[in-house]
Amino acid sequence: MLSALIWIPILGALIVGLLPGSIADKNVRRVAIVTISIALVVSLYVVTQFDTITTGLQFQEDLPWLEPLGLTYRLGLDGLSLPLIVLNCFLTLIALFSTSVTVHRPRLYYSLVLVINAAVAGAFLAHNLLLFFLFYELELIPLYLLIAIWGGARRGYASTKFLIYTAVSGILILIAFLGLTWLSGATSFEYNPALSQTLPLTSQFILLGAILIGFGIKIPLFPLHTWLPDAHVEASTPISVLLAGVLLKLGTYGLLRFGLQLFPQAWAVLAPYLAIWAVVSVLFGAFTAIAQTDMKKMVAYSSVGHMGFILLAAAAATPLSLLGCVFQMVSHGLISALLFALVGVVYAKTGTRDITILKGLLTPERGLPIVGSLMILGVMASAGIPGMVGFISEFLIFRGSFTVFPVQTLLSMIGTGLTAVYFLLLVNRTFFGRLPDQFANLPDVSWSERVPSLIVAALIVLLGLQPSWLVHWTETTTTAMLSDYSTIATPIEFDPISVLPLE
């Protein structure tokens, strides 16, 4: 069942890539959309079959692959991966719908998007360290090409920067995986949370450090974030949707799965510093976003800030904060996808994303009123206004983290306040006021351009009003993650002997 989620898109990519030239571009797009729709249906079927009470892996698949290397094809699903799997299919579909019907070289474009979908699904499902790494790297090349071929004016620079950063991230993660396996004397790369406990704390710190920096680049956290604004600005709208909505989640997923779960002892010791790092990232993202004049850069920096919340919650590692982590991943995925899709429409219609030039786009007949209204909804959700998904996730995170790191949590909450500042700046400058004469004759926004955003917006409100539909799938897993964590982590925290040698 889980393999289907990986192989359906791969098969689709092959079909799309090999479709003869006589087939109209429109139909190529349809094949891609049908492929992802099938994957989405499968993922939803998995959701219905998922047992919310079981703590362990479900739907496991285990095939030997390269035994001497310790590489097995082992897939499994738990409450951490489940929402991300659905999010991946959903946002890929949204990205496909946001793609212009007249995109150049559609066969290559759609197959690359499908490969990304497969790779991300694989990474979320893999329960073999090496297999995860393979999928993690597999996603890199198509994304590089999607930015480098279909990107904006400085796409060469942005895509190369992305490639270098993410490749370094991959190398660090690989080093950590190899180190963990070899140092602990394991014979395979099976995912085993108990492995690190055989290692001395110093080795754990080094390995966790590699993991943190590796995934910190992907998330991205300050000061490893510099590739992200460039990549977003140059990437086309659907690719930005994918990048912010799904690919960044690989980083936060890795942080929980391979940081917190694989190195609980070291994690517990580093947690206060991680919380400080989170605060720096949150505030840096927020303050930098305030200074931006490019709408896309502003949304990109808001991502840096909002991803910081996840690090804070992961550092706090309470049942509520971990639930908040997963919720924030989904919530940020939906909200940033919505914002990027809308910025894309504004850019397509006005030819600029500069908030010092744009004005009055809410003008009812000649402006972009529906796009503007959705944008207001999106920024409200992002700023954590109750009734939308952003409120639930941020509330869970702050409520969960406050007991452990009160100061850091309060400082992060300032970041939420600042979200309202920069997004109000954006909305106020761009959408209110009188439409300037240069924009008085904007082309029409078609329903096909609005529908993806409308669906995402509906989901943002729906999950904001009914968060239990999401919490329900994850709660058992995050609580179980923590039951392991607290038994391992607690003695260390109060054991002066094992901490002393560090100083």
Partner 1 sequence: MVVAPSKSTHPLAEIVDRIESGGALLPESPTNLIEVVGVLKSYGVVLDAYSINLKFIADNQFLVLFPFFKYFNGEVTTKKLLKHWWHDRINYEFSEYCMKAMMWHGGGGLDSYLDSSEFVERAQEAIQAKIKSNFFIGNLSKIFPNFLLEQVRMSCYYSAIGQFWTVMSEMFLELSDRYDNGEINSIQDVVDHVKAGLVNNAALPITYGVKVGDRTYDIIPESAGLKFLMDTAVPYVEAVFFKSFPFMGTISYNAQARQIPQEQERFNYGALYADPLPVGGGGIPPTLLMQDMTHYIPEYLHELYRESLRGENDIRVKICISFQKSMFCVTTAAILGLAPYPIDTQNPKEQAENRAYLESWMDKLMESQLIRFQSSNVQTD
String of DSSP letters for 228-286: HHHHHHHS-HHHHHHIIIIIHHHHHHHIIIIIITT-HHHHHHHHHHHHHHHHHHHHHHH
- Do 266 and 101 form a contact (C-beta atoms < 8 A)? no
Query: Does 220 sit behind a cis peptide bond, omega within 30 degrees of 0 on the bond before it?
Result: yes
Shortest spacing between CB 427 and partner 1, in angstroms: 16
Query: Of all helices (H) and strands (E), which one includes residue 297?
Result: helix 295-316
- CB nearer to partner 1: give 434 or 472: 434
Dist. CA 251–CA 115, nearest whole Å = 18
Shortest spacing between CB 449 and partner 1, in angstroms: 13
- CB nearer to partner 1: give 187 or 441: 441
Dist. CA 60–CA 74, nearest whole Å = 7
Shortest spacing between CB 444 and partner 1, in angstroms: 5
Shortest spacing between CB 350 and partner 1, in angstroms: 14
Dist. CA 477–CA 168, nearest whole Å = 31
- Do 208 and 270 form a contact (C-beta atoms < 8 A)? yes
Report phi then psi at 97, rounded to 5: -70, -30
- CB nearer to partner 1: give 105 or 366: 366
- CB nearer to partner 1: give 365 or 503: 365
- Do 104 and 28 form a contact (C-beta atoms < 8 A)? no
String of DSSP letters for 180-223: HHHHTT-SS-B--TTGGGGS-HHHHHHHHHHHHHHHHHHTT-TT
- CB nearer to partner 1: give 114 or 362: 362
Shortest spacing between CB 436 and partner 1, in angstroms: 10
- CB nearer to partner 1: give 154 or 366: 366
Burial of 160 (0-12, 13-18, 19+ CB in 10 A): middle
Shortest spacing between CB 441 and partner 1, in angstroms: 5
- CB nearer to partner 1: give 362 or 489: 362
Shortest spacing between CB 236 and partner 1, in angstroms: 24
Shortest spacing between CB 428 and partner 1, in angstroms: 13
How many Cα atoms sit within 13 Å of 290 on the Cβ side? Answer: 12
- CB nearer to partner 1: give 185 or 364: 364
With a CB cutoff of 8 Å and minimum separation 6, the contacts of 16 are 28, 31, 32, 35, 107, 110, 111, 114
Shortest spacing between CB 433 and partner 1, in angstroms: 9
- CB nearer to partner 1: give 341 or 361: 361
Shortest spacing between CB 366 and partner 1, in angstroms: 5
How many Cα atoms sit within 13 Å of 61 on the Cβ side? Answer: 15
- CB nearer to partner 1: give 324 or 360: 360
- Do 405 and 312 form a contact (C-beta atoms < 8 A)? yes
- What b/e string do you get for 184-198 counting C-beta neighbours within 10 Å, with b at 16 or more? beeebbbbebebbee
Shortest spacing between CB 461 and partner 1, in angstroms: 23
Residue 70 zone, left/alpha/beta (φ > 0; ψ -120 to 50; rest):
left
- CB nearer to partner 1: give 364 or 501: 364
Summarize as ranges the residues that interact with partner 1 (CB under 8 A).
Answer: 360, 363-366, 434-435, 437, 440-444
